[in-house]
Amino acid sequence: MIEGIFVDGLIFSIMALGIFISYKIMDLADLTCDGSFATGAAVAAVCIKSGLGITLALILGFAAGALSGMATALIHCRLRIPGLLAGILVMTMLYSVNLRILGGANVPLLGVKKFYTEVPRILGFLPSEWASLAGTIAIVLLMKGLVDLFFRTDLGLSVGAMGGNEQVVISQGMNPETLKVIGLGFSNGLIGFSGALLAQYQGFADANLGTGMVVQGLAAIMIGDFLFSTNRISLLTLRVILGSIIYKALMYGGRKYGYLVGITPNDFKLLTGLLVILSLAVAKARSGASDRGARRKAMDKVAAKANGGCNADA
């Protein structure tokens, strides 16, 4: 059972990484996610159904998500409408697109080769649930590595700089629109990939798969924020993954033991939202405190240096 939570949380964490890119790094609240997650799932399901293979299904899931994100970025930049509205538009339009791709409300993936039937077969020496977990960990590490690497490249740094201050990239002769298209493309690519993986794990793709995903992803990111503080990309992404697993574990706990306090799964959306609000409130209080802390640390450093200088003179 515990393996189930981990697999669930890890698949979910790839989506959370996507939201992390748009929300945290690019400072853009992108709601495309609710649509692109299901698009990735739908594309992968149809691919697998038509025998194109698992690898291609995952790649095309990523590509479909990336295209959705780019669409949002282009609408946002070209028509100069707020990113939030652009995301809502694309998300809403994608719902119809997803129904078209699926050819109905859902596509079951029973009795076909998929990631979570093939991995246990290859790793035959492990119990099938543990084999699934191992396969998922490998995929998540690959995706994490990809994100870490991207944000170390010059292009990735520029996307990060744009999130901090758009004027900086303009001053360096870069078109911020291009950077937004690339950033949101990558972000939603990961989200689509996550959907493509989830469809194979749960054995079906559904047009409603993405509903409420943004808020859940934000909750996971914010849980991660509480774990430790850092400004290194590899630790930031690790934090997102850990936060996702904890979030899924909390939800599992809620499903299993919630009845004791009268909570049903119907309340989860409310609780997730409240969790996000609470996290934001705590983070705000903490950032004030840590600003003061950082200033004190810097002052101490200067003081220590001054003392050191005096000692050297003496």
Partner 1 sequence: MLTLEHVTKVFYPGTVNEKLALEDISLTVEQGEVVCVIGSNGSGKSTLFNLISGTYPVTSGRIILDSKDVTHQPEYKRAFTIGRIFQDPTKGTAANMSVEDNLITASRKGMRGLGISLNDKKRAYFRELLGPIGLSDRLSDNVGLLSGGQRQALTLLMTVLSNPSMILLDEHTAALDPGNAATVMNLTQKYIEKYSLTAVMVTHNMQFAIDYGNRLIMMDEGQIIFDVSGAEKKKLTVERLVQIFKEIKKKEFATDRGLLAI
Give the residues lining the site for partner 1 (CB under 8 A).
27, 150, 152-155, 157-158, 160-165, 167-176, 178, 231, 294-295, 298
Q: How far is the CB of 309 from partner 1 (least distance, A)?
A: 13
219: tokens are: 């909750």
Cα distance between residue 222 and residue 224, in whole Å: 5
274: tokens are: 């409240």
Token pair 């119907």: residue: 266
DSSP 217-267: HHHHHHHHHHH-----HHHHHHHHHHHHHHHHHHHHHHHHHGGGGT--GGG
Q: How far is the CB of 244 from partner 1 (least distance, A)?
A: 22
123: tokens are: 């790793």
> What b/e sequence results for 82-101 when a residue is b if at least 16 CB atoms lie within 10 Å of its CB, and e otherwise?
ebeebbbbbbeebbebbeeb
**Smaller CB separation from partner 1, 269 or 295:** 295
H or E segment at 108? Answer: strand 106-108
**Smaller CB separation from partner 1, 170 or 280:** 170
Q: How far is the CB of 298 from partner 1 (least distance, A)?
A: 7
144: tokens are: 């994490």
Q: How far is the CB of 147 from partner 1 (least distance, A)?
A: 13
**Smaller CB separation from partner 1, 29 or 88:** 29
Q: How far is the CB of 176 from partner 1 (least distance, A)?
A: 7
Q: How far is the CB of 20 from partner 1 (least distance, A)?
A: 13
Q: How far is the CB of 65 from partner 1 (least distance, A)?
A: 20
Q: How far is the CB of 181 from partner 1 (least distance, A)?
A: 12
**Smaller CB separation from partner 1, 154 or 313:** 154
Token pair 């574990």: residue: 249
**Smaller CB separation from partner 1, 141 or 298:** 298
**Smaller CB separation from partner 1, 2 or 304:** 304
**Smaller CB separation from partner 1, 53 or 145:** 145
Asked if residue 206 lies in contact with residue 38, where contact means CB atoms within 8 angstroms, the answer is: yes
Cα distance between residue 108 and residue 199, in whole Å: 9
DSSP 139-171: HHHHHHHHHHHHTTSHHHHHHHHHHH-HHHHHH
The CA–CA distances, whole Å, from 81 to 72, 73, 174 equal 10, 10, 21
DSSP-based three-state secondary structure for 106: strand
**Smaller CB separation from partner 1, 94 or 218:** 218
Cα distance between residue 193 and residue 189, in whole Å: 6
Cα distance between residue 239 and residue 221, in whole Å: 8
